[in-house]
Amino acid sequence: MFWQRVLHWLLPLYLCILAALIAQWFYQWGRVLPVVFRGIDAFFILAIAGVYAMSHIFRMLRLAMLTLDERERILPVLSCHAVTALPSALLPFKIGEILRLGSFFYAIKTRKALSIWLAERFGDISVIALFILVLYFFKVDVPPQLRMIFILFFVFSVLALTAFFAVAKVFIYLNHHLVLSSHSRRGLQLLKISHQLRLLEESILRCVEGRFASIALLSLLIWTCEVAGIALFIQSISIDNQALSQFFLAGLSGVLDEDTSRSSFHFCRDLVLIAFSLFFGVILMVGRLIKRN
């Protein structure tokens, strides 16, 4: 009963915290806004915001595709993505992804939440690795700091994806071996863990079954929009290789510097996420009131 009450008030509490965060954001940016956009054409501001908004629209379409086999869950999952996108962008070192994953579990309450989140990550890793490979194939000049990060990311991505598919095949043999030959308590616990991981793999495959090409295309469009937004921003200001490296490193870690010329991109990003948060936050509260009545 206690946990039911906690879950009942969790969404309104979170939305109140989110509203306070948005109010604090407007207060903070209101003081430096004229400095941030000094010398930047209004066209570029609108273009950056529009392209970045398209990347999140494509993210929502990908989530809808991944949840297509449980259509009644699509709107809650999209709403969870929208209202957690701003905190996820502001929290450092991508720990906001834990918040997104928790919101998916709040909406779905089954292992499918983890399956959707992992399928998203696989799609993102694959496309980013492809972009890095294209950069090197066309011999694009990349600053030394970023070159090392790109190499490490590409190697890690390939190893991670290979390991997932390799381990998935090992589970079939491991389950068969444990069922036939292991009768100890430790063997039964290992069998239970292996079986749960096998079910997770099957759940991920169901998320992309018959939709793999669409999900891959949406993943490509997502990161094309992300890169296009950054490219428009770089075109709008004068930025050298060292500053470019710092900008990308800050984006990867989520720890931003105080350089107002580079902060203008993050202002556009945050403003788009606030618009999504407000729109879907209202949808969540209205849906909650309708369900109560």
The model's pLDDT over 84-119, given as tens digits with 9 standing for 90+, comes to 998 888 787 678 888 899 999 988 888 899 999 989
pLDDT value of position 260: 47
pTM, full prediction = 0.84
pLDDT of residue 250: 53
- pLDDT at residue 47, as a whole number: 84
pLDDT at residue number 148: 72
C-alpha 62, offset from chain centre:
11
106, containing H or E segment: helix 96-108
Cβ–Cβ contacts within 10 Å for residue 151, how many?
13
Model pLDDT, residue 150: 73
Residue ranges in the chain modelled with pLDDT below 50:
2-3, 253, 255-261
Residue 249: per-residue pLDDT: 55
Distance in angstroms (rounded) separating the CA atoms of residues 70 and 47? 35
Residue 254: what are its φ and ψ, rounded to 5°?
A: 85, 0
Q: DSSP character for 143?
A: -
> Exposure of 72 by Cβ count < 10 A (0-12 exposed, 13-18 middle, 19+ buried)?
exposed
